[in-house]
Amino acid sequence: MNKIIFLLTAAIVVAIIFFVPPIKGLGELAKIIFFHVPTAWVAVVAFFSSAFFAAKFLRTRDFSADELSARAAKLGFVFVLLSTISGAIFSKLTWGAYWNWDPRQTTIFVLILIYGAYLTLRAAVTDEKIRAKVSAVYSLLSVLTVPFLVFVLPRMYFSLHPSPISSSGVEMDSAVVIVLIAALIDATLIFIRLMRKGD
């Protein structure tokens, strides 16, 4: 798996530098989008993975599920930070400001808060049985904010952020689309690889 990930990552980097046309008027730095989108995707995947393993732990009391839940959250925290920073840079290039509390920025910031709260809770509890239990409960409680962030928030506030699914594909160069999809797959593989660390 390591080799595949390495080759894929290398190929994507080469493709981004040499084959993807520069985005009009934004310069080379705007290519950070190929980093931003996959990391944001993994941050969300990790969040759901963490909640999934939390539910599994509460059902089975299997401590390996707790470990996976914790690892997903730790990885998610790193990815959400990377995504936020790269997103802020892209935001500066396109909208002229690093931060403006766009619904998507709010969403990702709430994810940072939840990950932060979850990891602080884990750090604060020393007894591993109790730690597993309370962090699983918190993980499932915090996942309830997702429907709000996804469905309600964007309707409450006007968003400048391009919609990830709809129309955007049409306007994009096919090379961009292919590289972006490859980058998403690559990032997901990296996440899975990191989840399996230690096996």
Partner 1 sequence: MKLSRCRFDAVSAIVRKDFLLNLRRRATFAAMMMFALTATASLSLSTGGALLDEKFLAAILWVVIFFAAGAGIAGTFDDEAQAGTLPTLKLYGDAQAILFGKMFVAFLSLVALSTFILPIFLILFDVGVEKIFLLLVTVLLGLIGLSAAGTLTAALTTSAAVKGGLFPILLFPVTLPIFLPAIRLTEISFTVAPVDSSLLVVVAAFDAILILAASILYDYL
Task: Yes or no: say if 93 and 158 are a contact pair by the CB < 8 Å rule.
Answer: no
The nearer residue to partner 1, 26 or 121, going by C-beta atoms, is: 121
Q: How far is the CB of 83 from partner 1 (least distance, A)?
A: 17
The nearer residue to partner 1, 13 or 112, going by C-beta atoms, is: 112
Q: How far is the CB of 144 from partner 1 (least distance, A)?
A: 6
The nearer residue to partner 1, 126 or 167, going by C-beta atoms, is: 126
Q: How far is the CB of 126 from partner 1 (least distance, A)?
A: 9
Which residue ranges make up the site for partner 1 (CB under 8 A)?
Answer: 58, 110, 113-114, 116-117, 120-121, 124-125, 127, 130-131, 133-134, 136-138, 140-142, 144-145, 148-149, 152-153, 156
The nearer residue to partner 1, 23 or 65, going by C-beta atoms, is: 65
The nearer residue to partner 1, 28 or 128, going by C-beta atoms, is: 128
Q: How far is the CB of 140 from partner 1 (least distance, A)?
A: 6
Q: How far is the CB of 12 from partner 1 (least distance, A)?
A: 33
